[in-house]
Amino acid sequence: MIANEFSCPFCCYLSPNSEELQTHVSSEHYKELKTPTKSGKKQQSHESDESFTECPICMTYFSIKEIDNHVQKHLSEAEPSCSTEHDALVATCLHNTERMVEENLAKEAAENLQLQLLQEEFNCDPNDKVTYKKQAKQVMEKAVGRKKMTTTEYYRRRFEMLESLEQGIDDGSTLTPDFAFKLSKLFNQNTRNNTSIILNSTSVHYGRGAGDSGWGCGFRNLQMMISSLAALPAYRDHLQQFQDKIPSIPKLQSLIEDAWAIGFDPRGREQLMGKLVGTRKWIGATEAFVLLSSLHLHCKIVDFHSRSGSKVNTELFKWVLKYFQKDLNQESLLKPGSVELANIPILYLQHHGHSRSVCGVQVNMKTKAASHLIVCDPGMTKHQLSAALNGNKTCSLSKTLNSFKEEKYQVVAVVGISTTEQFERQKDVDTLAEKIYSQKT
């Protein structure tokens, strides 16, 4: 090396003066100076919450407390020893390192805030000690106090609930009997000649109960999906364990935790603080995908996003129609005024704050487009649904395009039984989500 030449700490570049070297470092090695925290996340450790970042010179990870001294050590070993110019180089690199650390801390704070908001959205209150069992007991006690339930009925229902919880099997108290038959009959009586309907052939409805009112819609939708799937010819043998033995909500919570334990959706597990059992945390489409995937079912998750100034409901309706039509041999099989039963799984439909199950679609025979979705809402109680069915009212179940006003929807669909490779791939939910955007108007 020529005397008084300065060497770049990142590459073999040599410079006769420090100013030129500073320009080189700033222009050619900007990315190295902005290296983010490892994997863009906090280092996961139960022993320490320290953040780690990468040294821009040797690419080794150090804590934020140690990185300044470490970089300075590198620079003190660099050529040459001319103090004034060397100090300028040290100052430049340390300034850039400090900027990098500040950016990492800001990014970490933003991630923590996002995580906190997600936990609030999913009702992740660590101080909430009310469980499914305790809420059910409180609701039934209030019903007795208001003379809406007799003491005898209270003890009978409490005993049934405790027995159900011990076995992990839903007691069926919110299940509408013969729902698929009643649904088909309802639409056969009310379908006009200019429309046609495709219905899932094994639809069931679980409404909200005393123990899950206000937070259990995701779990009730999972009960509908599992029950319907177990009755379909293509899934009957695979899900034999669930025939007439639908998991209770606490059991579903446990099954999701079991799926997390074998590697499904680590990010979602973190957002829900790794615990569902004994809580009233809400779940969404991701948790539904996780549970169904853990049962070795091949699933798809689709995100529908609205572009600025446009609606996403049209894209949602197109997708749902195509999904339900695939079980039919030909589109021409749809006859005006007919109700076709399809051996295809129902869909899990999520939007902000609520989820429902889609068990069919109504088609306008003139335009060949979906005009309504046939929706099972777990927010409806067994008695409310029975009143709608007996009153020959389709409006509670048949929803128009304009009733879907959210900017984002998520759909979970079961499309088969998974192979070993698909089972492993579905553990990473984020990489599998298909995204569909509304068309700009």
- Give 258-313 pLDDT, tens digit per residue: 999 999 999 999 999 999 999 999 999 999 999 999 999 999 999 999 887 678 99
Gyration radius (Cα) of the chain, Å: 29
At 110, the pLDDT band (50, 70, 90 cuts) reads: low
Burial of 363 (C-beta count, 10 Å sphere; 0-12/13-18/19+):
buried
* pLDDT, average across residues 328-357: 86
The reply to whether 113 and 183 lie within a common domain is no
The reply to whether 323 and 231 lie within a common domain is yes
Ranking 56-70, 100-114, 259-273, 392-406 by mean pLDDT, the lowest is: 100-114
Domain boundary, last residue among 57, 92, 121: 121
DSSP string over 180-229? HHHHHHHHHHH--TTEEEEEETT---B---TTTTTT-HHHHHHHHHHHHH
Q: What is the mean pLDDT of the chain?
A: 83
Higher pLDDT, 413 or 244: 413
Q: What is the pLDDT of residue 38?
A: 37
Place of tokens 């695939």: 326
Under 8 Å between Cβ of 8 and 21: yes
- Helix ranges (DSSP H) in 50-178: 64-76, 83-121, 132-145, 151-167
Domain count, the chain: 2
pLDDT over threshold 50, residue 34: no
Catalytic residue among 74, 86, 305, 354: 354
**CA 53/CA 100 separation, integer angstroms:** 9
Which helix (H) or strand (E) is 21 found in, with range?
Answer: helix 18-28
49 falls within a domain: yes
pLDDT over threshold 60, residue 229: yes
Higher pLDDT, 83 or 138: 138
295 falls within a domain: yes
At 3, the pLDDT band (50, 70, 90 cuts) reads: very low
pLDDT over threshold 70, residue 127: no
140 falls within a domain: no
Q: What is the pLDDT of residue 2?
A: 45
396 falls within a domain: yes
Catalytic residue among 217, 299, 359, 376: 217
* pLDDT, average across residues 115-143: 73
- Quick one: which of 340, 52, 296 has its CA closest to 195? 340
Domain boundary, last residue among 121, 139, 160: 121
55 falls within a domain: yes
Residue 440 neighbours by CB distance under 10 Å: 8
The percentage of the chain sitting over the pLDDT mark of 70, rounded to a whole number, equals 71
At 329, the pLDDT band (50, 70, 90 cuts) reads: low
The first and second tokens of residue 120, run together, are 């609030």
Burial of 410 (C-beta count, 10 Å sphere; 0-12/13-18/19+):
buried
Higher pLDDT, 267 or 51: 267
**CA 140/CA 150 separation, integer angstroms:** 10
Is 430 one of the catalytic residues? Answer: no
- What backbone torsions phi and psi does residue 305 show, to the nearest 5 degrees? -115, 145
134 falls within a domain: no
148 falls within a domain: no
The reply to whether 181 and 103 lie within a common domain is no
* pLDDT, average across residues 1-14: 60
The reply to whether 323 and 388 lie within a common domain is yes
Range of the domain at 10: 6-121
* pLDDT, average across residues 187-191: 89
* pLDDT, average across residues 384-402: 91
Q: DSSP letter for 408, please.
A: E
Q: What is the pLDDT of residue 422?
A: 97
Angle at the Cα of 381 from the Cα atoms of 379 and 385, rounded to 5 degrees: 105
Q: What is the CATH number of the domain that holds 255?
A: 3.90.70.130
**CA 89/CA 96 separation, integer angstroms:** 11
At 184, the pLDDT band (50, 70, 90 cuts) reads: very high
The reply to whether 313 and 398 lie within a common domain is yes
- Helix ranges (DSSP H) in 305-412: 313-325, 382-390
At 54, the pLDDT band (50, 70, 90 cuts) reads: low
80 falls within a domain: yes
Is 354 one of the catalytic residues? Answer: yes
* pLDDT, average across residues 357-385: 95
Report how far apart, in Å, the C-alpha atoms of 206 and of each of 132, 162, 393 are. Answer: 16, 19, 19
Q: What is the pLDDT of residue 35?
A: 41
The reply to whether 253 and 345 lie within a common domain is yes
Highest mean pLDDT pick, 39-43, 132-136, 291-295: 291-295
